[in-house]
Amino acid sequence: MDILKERILQEGRALSETVLKVDSFLNHGVDARLMYDIGTYFKEYYKNHGITKIFTIESSGIAPTVMTAMQMELPMVTLKKQSSKILNGDVYQTTVHSFTKGSDYELTLSKKYISPEDNILVIDDFLANGEAALGAIRLIEEAGAKVGGIGIVIEKSFQPGRAILDEKGYDVYSLARIGKLGKGIIEFI
């Protein structure tokens, strides 16, 4: 997606060889017009995949996912990050480790918002190690539903997430794929 890549080159800052800061349009400031255009791309790619619902993970995945859900006219669900286990039978939960943040959280989905007939598109802002996406997949599959695709705004292709999801056979579509980061270096593949 060329306009996204241009924004990354203009406004993104590589903080290290692994972390890209895009606070001006995705993670802090949010460019709603760009989010709308991102929704157009996800709709175009996934429109014939029989998707029934779109899931995301709080919080930066919400903006691009709202725009996609609106354009695909599908229900959206935000998976919550709880700090501890909920001890009743009303939710599915799985522990996710964030390598970037060095902490764990309980990814949580109320049983009300999924059924075995669902075919779910998962959208997130970044794909790094794939831990968040794999957590979402575990919840969906535990509910007996299908993962219809994984839509990513910015993929860091040099980290393991993409390869892991490909190897497991999921249909991953990333709008910008970064091959290399470094001081003053942002390269796409």
Does residue 126 bind ligand G4P (CB under 6 A)? Answer: yes
For residues 132 and 96, is the Cβ–Cβ distance under 8 A? yes
Provide the token pair at 67. 């725009």
Residue choice 69, 107, 127, 172 for contact with ligand G4P (CB under 6 A): 127
Does residue 64 bind ligand G4P (CB under 6 A)? Answer: no
Q: How far is the CB of 58 from ligand G4P (least distance, A)?
A: 6
Residue choice 39, 64, 149, 161 for contact with ligand G4P (CB under 6 A): 161
Q: How many residues does the chain have?
A: 189
Does residue 24 bind ligand G4P (CB under 6 A)? Answer: no
Does residue 183 bind ligand G4P (CB under 6 A)? Answer: no
Beta bridge partners of 95: 106
Residue choice 1, 5, 13, 21 for contact with ligand G4P (CB under 6 A): 21
For residues 53 and 77, is the Cβ–Cβ distance under 8 A? yes
Does residue 128 bind ligand G4P (CB under 6 A)? Answer: yes
In terms of DSSP bridges, do strands 53-57 and 103-110 run parallel, antiparallel, or are they unpaired?
A: unpaired
In terms of DSSP bridges, do strands 91-98 and 103-110 run parallel, antiparallel, or are they unpaired?
A: antiparallel
Does residue 101 bind ligand G4P (CB under 6 A)? Answer: yes
In terms of DSSP bridges, do strands 20-21 and 53-57 run parallel, antiparallel, or are they unpaired?
A: unpaired
Is 20 part of any known ligand binding site? yes
Residue choice 51, 93, 121, 130 for contact with ligand G4P (CB under 6 A): 130
Residues numbered 81 to 100 that lie near ligand G4P (CB under 6 A) are: 98-100
Q: Report helix, strand or coil for 133.
A: helix
Nearer to ligand G4P, 52 or 177 (CB): 177
For residues 19 and 100, is the Cβ–Cβ distance under 8 A? yes
Instruction: State the DSSP code for 50.
Output: -
Residues that bind ligand G4P (CB under 6 A): 19-22, 27, 57, 59-61, 98-101, 125-132, 156, 161
